[in-house]
Chains A and B, each alone.
Chain A
Amino acid sequence: MKKYREVVGGSVFFLFAATYFVMAFGIKQYNDGFLSSDFIPKIYGGVLMLLSILQVLFAVFNSKKGRAQEEDQEPGLSLGQTLLSVALTFVLLIGYVSLLETVGFIIMSSIFIFLMTLMLYPADQRTVRRLLWVALIAVVFSSGVYFLFVKAFALTLPAGILG
Chain B
Amino acid sequence: MIWEGISTVLLNPSCLVWIFIGTTVGIIFGCIPGLTATMAIAMFLPVTYNMASTQGISVLTALYIGGISGGLISAILLNIPGTPASIATCLDGRPLALKGEAGKALGVGIVFSFLGTILSLLALVLISPPLASIAIKFGPFEYFSITIFSLTLIITLSSKNVIKGLMTGVLGLIFATVGMAPIDSVQRYTFGNPALKSGFDILTVLVGVFAISEILLAAEASWTGSKKDVSAITDFKIKGFGFSFKEFTSQIGNLIRSSAIGIGLGILPGIGSGTSNMLSYSVARSQSKHPEKFGTGIIDGIVASESANNATIGGTIIPLLCLGIPGDSTAALLLGALIMKGVQPGPLIFQQNGQVVYAIYTAMALASLFMLAVMFVGMKGFVRILKIPSHLLLPLVFVLCTVGAFGINNRLFDCFALIFFGFVGYLLQKGDYPMPPLILGFVLGNIMEMNLRRALSYSQGDISEFFTRPMSCAFLLLAALSLAINIYGVYKSRKKDSSAVN
Contacts and interface: CB of A to CB of B under 8 A. Distances in A.
Interface of A: 5-6, 8-9, 12-13, 20, 23, 27-30, 32-38, 40-41, 44-45, 47-48, 51-52, 54-55, 58, 66, 69, 75, 77, 81-82, 84-86, 88-90, 93-94, 96-98, 100-101, 109, 112-113, 116-117, 119-124, 134, 137-138, 141-142, 145, 149, 153-158
Main secondary structure of the interface of A (DSSP, over half): helix
A100 B418 CA distance: 14
B189 A23 contact: yes
Give the 6 A-B CB pairs with smallest separation, nearest first: A120-B391, A37-B181, A9-B431, A116-B395, A34-B461, A89-B219
A27 to B, nearest CB: 5
Contact of A101 (B391, B412, B426, B427): B412
Interface string B450-473: 001100110011000000000000
B43 A154 contact: yes
Given A30-B184, A117-B392, A134-B392, A89 B215 contact: yes
Most chain-A CB neighbours within 10 Å: which of B188, B392, B399, B456? B399
B53 to A, nearest CB: 22
A1 to B, nearest CB: 12
Nearest to A49: B170
Given A85-B220, A97-B416, A112 B395 contact: yes
Nearest to B416: A97
Given A69-B501, A77-B223, A156-B410, A97 B419 contact: yes
B396 A157 contact: no
B402 to A, nearest CB: 7
Interface stretch (B11-19, B160-168, B251-259, B287-295): B160-168
Nearest to B166: A51
Given A13-B167, A116-B398, A156-B410, A33 B426 contact: no
B456 A93 contact: no
B415 A52 contact: no
25 contacts: A12-B427, A20-B174, A28-B187, A41-B174, A44-B173, A48-B171, A58-B163, A77-B223, A82-B220, A84-B223, A89-B216, A93-B398, A94-B419, A97-B415, A97-B416, A112-B398, A113-B396, A116-B394, A117-B392, A120-B395, A121-B222, A122-B225, A141-B399, A149-B407, A157-B403
Contacts of A84: 223
Contacts of B215: 89, 93, 116
A104 to B, nearest CB: 13
B226 to A, nearest CB: 6
Given A41-B189, A44-B177, A122-B222, 14 more contacts: A5-B431, A6-B431, A27-B181, A27-B186, A28-B187, A34-B461, A36-B186, A40-B452, A77-B226, A86-B426, A109-B402, A119-B222, A124-B225, A138-B395
A112 B399 contact: yes
Given A55-B164, A77-B224, A145-B403, A48 B186 contact: no
B46 interface: yes
B456 A35 contact: yes
Contacts of A88: 219
B406 interface: yes
A85 B222 contact: yes
A47 B151 CA distance: 14
B443 to A, nearest CB: 15
Nearest to A120: B391
B224 A117 contact: no
B213 to A, nearest CB: 11
Q: Which of B225, B398, B410, B427 has the most A CB atoms < 10 Å from its CB? A: B398
Interface string B389-423: 01110111011101100110010100110010011
Contacts of A47: 170
B225 A123 contact: yes
Given A48-B170, A97-B415, A117-B395, A155 B403 contact: yes
Contacts of B247: none
A158 to B, nearest CB: 8
